[in-house]
Structure 1
Amino acid sequence: MATAFPFLPVQASERGDRAILLGVAGLGLGTALLLLWLLGDVLAAGVFLLVFLAAGGLILLLGRHRSGLADAATMGDIGLLNAAIGDSSEAVAITDRSGRLICANRTFGEWFPGLPAPPGLAIGDHGDDRLAGAGRSAWRDGWAEVEGLATGRGRLSATALRAGTAQDHLVWRLRRMRGGQLVDETRRLVEGEGGQRLGAAGMMAAIADGGGRLVAANRVFLQRALGNEEAGIHALADLFDDSGGDVIRFRHEGDEATPLRVVQVPLDDGVGESPTLFLLLDDAGALRPAADAASDHVEALLAMLPLGLALAERDGRILFMNDAFRRAAGLPQGQPVLYPSDLVVKEDKAAVADAVRRFAAGQRMSGDIAVRLRYRADEAVALTIAGARGLGEAAVLLSLKDNSEESRLKNQVAQATKMQAVGQLAGGVAHDFNNILTAIIGHCDLMLLRHRPGESDYDDIQQIRQNSNRAAGLTRQLLAFSRQQTLRPQVLQLPDVISEISNLIKRLLGERVRLVVKHGRNLGQVRADPGQLEQVIVNLAVNARDAMPDGGTLTVQTYGVTAAEVRRLNSDILPVADYTALSVSDTGTGIPAELLGKIFEPFFTTKEVGKGTGLGLSTVYGIVKQSGGFIFADSKPGVGTSFVIYLPVHRADPMLDAPPPPKKPRQGELWGTGTILLVEDEDMVRAVAERALTRQGYKVLTAANGEEALEVLQGMAADGGETIDLLVSDVVMPTMDGPTLVRHAREMFPRLPILFMSGYAEEQLRRSIDLDRVAFLAKPFSVQQLAEAARDALGAKGTAAS
Structure 2
Amino acid sequence: MATSASPRSGNAAMPVLLVLGAAALSAALLLWAIGDRIFASVFCAGVIGLAVPFLLLDRRRAGTPALEAAPRHDISLLRSALDCSADAAAVTDSEGRPLAANAAWHNWFGPGGPLDLAGGETLREALVAARRDGAAERHGLSLGGVPASAALRSAGADGGHVVWTLSRPAEKDITADARRLVAGETGDRLGLAGVMSLVADADGNLIGASRAFLVRATADGSAVPGTPLVDLLTVSAEGALQFAREGKNGTPLRIIQAPLTDAAEDGPSLFLLLDEAGPIGRDGGANINALLEILPLGLALADRDGRFVYLNSAFRRAAGLSRDEEPTWPGDLVVDEDKAAVSDSVRRFARGPSMSGDIAVRLRSKAEEPVALTVAGARGLGDAAVLLSLKDNTEEDRLKRQVAQATKMQAVGQLAGGVAHDFNNILTAIIGHCDLMLMRHTPGDSDYDDIQQIRSNSNRAAGLTRQLLAFSRQQTLRPQVLQLPDVIAEVTTLLRRLLGETVKLQVKHGRALGPVRADPGQLEQVIVNLAVNARDAMPDGGTLTIQTYSVSADDVRRMGSEILPIADYTALRVSDTGTGIPANVLPKVFEPFFTTKEVGKGTGLGLSTVYGIVKQSGGFIFAESQPGEGTSFVIYLPVNRAEASTSGRKAKETAGELWGSGTILLVEDEATVRAVAERALTRHGYTVLLAENGEAAIEILERERKIDLMISDVVMPTMDGPTTAREARKMLPDLPILFISGYAEEQLRQSIDLERVSFLAKPFSVQKLAEAARDALHAK
Shift in CA distance, 581/671, structure 1 to aligned 2, threshold 3 Å: closer
Q: Deviations over 1:266-302 (max 9, x none)?
A: xxxxxxxxxxxxxxxxx99999453245467679x57
Report the alpha carbon displacement of residue 763 of structure 1 after superposing the two structures with TM. 2.2
Equivalent of residue 762 in structure 1, options 723, 745, 749:
745
The answer to whether structure 1 residue 424 and structure 2 residue 414 are counterparts is yes
The answer to whether structure 1 residue 509 and structure 2 residue 499 are counterparts is yes
Report the alpha carbon displacement of residue 408 of structure 1 after superposing the two structures with TM. 4.6
Q: 1:59-70 to 2 correspondence within 5 Å? A: none
- 3-state SS, counterpart of residue 588 of structure 1: coil
The answer to whether structure 1 residue 779 and structure 2 residue 762 are counterparts is yes
Report the alpha carbon displacement of residue 396 of structure 1 after superposing the two structures with TM. 4.8
The answer to whether structure 1 residue 460 and structure 2 residue 450 are counterparts is yes
2: CA distance, partners of 1:772 / 1:469: 31
Q: 1:299-448 to 2 correspondence within 5 Å? A: 310-321=300-311, 325-326=315-316, 328-330=318-320, 337-345=327-335, 348-349=338-339, 352-353=342-343, 356=346, 370-383=360-373, 393-396=383-386, 398-400=388-390, 403-404=393-394, 407-408=397-398, 410-448=400-438
- Which residue in the other structure is 2:673 paired with? 685
Shift in CA distance, 631/385, structure 1 to aligned 2, threshold 3 Å: farther
Q: Deviations over 1:369-428 (max 9, x none)?
A: 543223422112344567778865345554545555654554344333322321221122
The answer to whether structure 1 residue 529 and structure 2 residue 512 are counterparts is no
Equivalent of residue 714 in structure 2, options 709, 731, 736:
731
- Which residue in the other structure is 1:663 paired with? 651
Structure 1: runs of 5+ lacking an equivalent: 1-199, 203-282, 717-721, 798-802
Report the alpha carbon displacement of residue 362 of structure 1 after superposing the two structures with TM. 9.3
Shift in CA distance, 388/561, structure 1 to aligned 2, threshold 3 Å: farther
1: CA distance, partners of 2:352 / 2:287: 22
- 3-state SS, counterpart of residue 716 of structure 2: coil
CA contact (8 A) 1:295 1:392 kept: no
CA contact (8 A) 1:294 1:391 kept: no
Q: 1:217-366 to 2 correspondence within 5 Å? A: 288-294=281-287, 310-321=300-311, 325-326=315-316, 328-330=318-320, 337-345=327-335, 348-349=338-339, 352-353=342-343, 356=346
2: CA distance, partners of 1:543 / 1:758: 32
2: CA distance, partners of 1:386 / 1:566: 53
CA contact (8 A) 1:586 1:642 kept: yes
Aligned sequence identity (%): 74
- 3-state SS, counterpart of residue 664 of structure 1: helix
Q: Deviations over 1:82-111 (max 9, x none)?
A: xxxxxxxxxxxxxxxxxxxxxxxxxxxxxx
Report the alpha carbon displacement of residue 737 of structure 1 after superposing the two structures with TM. 0.7
Shift in CA distance, 407/728, structure 1 to aligned 2, threshold 3 Å: same
- Which residue in the other structure is 2:605 paired with? 615
Report the alpha carbon displacement of residue 508 of structure 1 after superposing the two structures with TM. 3.3
The answer to whether structure 1 residue 715 and structure 2 residue 698 are counterparts is no
2: CA distance, partners of 1:614 / 1:787: 37
CA contact (8 A) 1:285 1:392 kept: no
CA contact (8 A) 2:568 2:639 kept: no
Equivalent of residue 481 in structure 1, options 471, 489, 502:
471
CA contact (8 A) 2:570 2:639 kept: no
CA contact (8 A) 1:447 1:461 kept: yes
2: CA distance, partners of 1:396 / 1:650: 64
Report the alpha carbon displacement of residue 469 of structure 1 after superposing the two structures with TM. 1.7
2: CA distance, partners of 1:329 / 1:520: 50
Report the alpha carbon displacement of residue 495 of structure 1 after superposing the two structures with TM. 5.0
CA contact (8 A) 1:729 1:755 kept: yes
1: CA distance, partners of 2:580 / 2:424: 37
1: CA distance, partners of 2:616 / 2:571: 16
- 3-state SS, counterpart of residue 447 of structure 2: helix
CA contact (8 A) 1:298 1:391 kept: no
Q: Which one has a bigger Cα radius of gyration?
A: 1
2: CA distance, partners of 1:402 / 1:579: 41
2: CA distance, partners of 1:592 / 1:526: 33
2: CA distance, partners of 1:732 / 1:318: 67
Q: Deviations over 1:286-339 (max 9, x none)?
A: 99453245467679x57xx99865443354321244677556434699876332
CA contact (8 A) 2:515 2:641 kept: no
Shift in CA distance, 517/465, structure 1 to aligned 2, threshold 3 Å: closer
CA contact (8 A) 1:730 1:758 kept: yes
TM-score (norm 2): 0.57
2: CA distance, partners of 1:351 / 1:561: 58
Equivalent of residue 697 in structure 1, options 685, 688, 706:
685
- Which residue in the other structure is 2:530 paired with? 540
2: CA distance, partners of 1:643 / 1:672: 48
Report the alpha carbon displacement of residue 453 of structure 1 after superposing the two structures with TM. 2.1
CA contact (8 A) 1:437 1:472 kept: yes
- 3-state SS, counterpart of residue 436 of structure 1: helix
1: CA distance, partners of 2:297 / 2:550: 40
The answer to whether structure 1 residue 560 and structure 2 residue 551 are counterparts is yes
1: CA distance, partners of 2:645 / 2:303: 71
Name the aligned partner's letter for residue 423 of structure 2.
F
1: CA distance, partners of 2:735 / 2:654: 26
Report the alpha carbon displacement of residue 438 of structure 1 after superposing the two structures with TM. 0.9
Q: Deviations over 1:709-738 (max 9, x none)?
A: 12222233xxxxx52111111011111110
- 3-state SS, counterpart of residue 474 of structure 2: coil
Report the alpha carbon displacement of residue 509 of structure 1 after superposing the two structures with TM. 2.9
Shift in CA distance, 673/550, structure 1 to aligned 2, threshold 3 Å: same
- 3-state SS, counterpart of residue 631 of structure 1: strand
CA contact (8 A) 2:299 2:389 kept: yes
CA contact (8 A) 2:481 2:640 kept: no
Q: Deviations over 1:610-668 (max 9, x none)?
A: 54444322221221221233334344443433333344x346468x9785552335566
- 3-state SS, counterpart of residue 759 of structure 2: strand
Shift in CA distance, 668/775, structure 1 to aligned 2, threshold 3 Å: same
- Which residue in the other structure is 1:83 paired with? none
Report the alpha carbon displacement of residue 347 of structure 1 after superposing the two structures with TM. 5.9
- 3-state SS, counterpart of residue 283 of structure 2: helix
1: CA distance, partners of 2:762 / 2:525: 20
Name the aligned partner's letter for residue 560 of structure 1.
V
TM-score (norm 1): 0.56
Report the alpha carbon displacement of residue 692 of structure 1 after superposing the two structures with TM. 1.0
Structure 2: runs of 5+ lacking an equivalent: 1-237, 241-275
- 3-state SS, counterpart of residue 752 of structure 1: coil
- 3-state SS, counterpart of residue 670 of structure 1: coil
How many corresponding residue pairs?
508
Shift in CA distance, 578/784, structure 1 to aligned 2, threshold 3 Å: closer
2: CA distance, partners of 1:666 / 1:577: 38
Report the alpha carbon displacement of residue 550 of structure 1 after superposing the two structures with TM. 0.9
Name the aligned partner's letter for residue 733 of structure 2.
P
The answer to whether structure 1 residue 746 and structure 2 residue 739 are counterparts is no
2: CA distance, partners of 1:431 / 1:365: 60
- Which residue in the other structure is 2:94 paired with? none
2: CA distance, partners of 1:793 / 1:472: 24
- Which residue in the other structure is 1:628 paired with? 618
Q: Deviations over 1:547-602 (max 9, x none)?
A: 1011223344446375895797675x666766554333323223455654554344
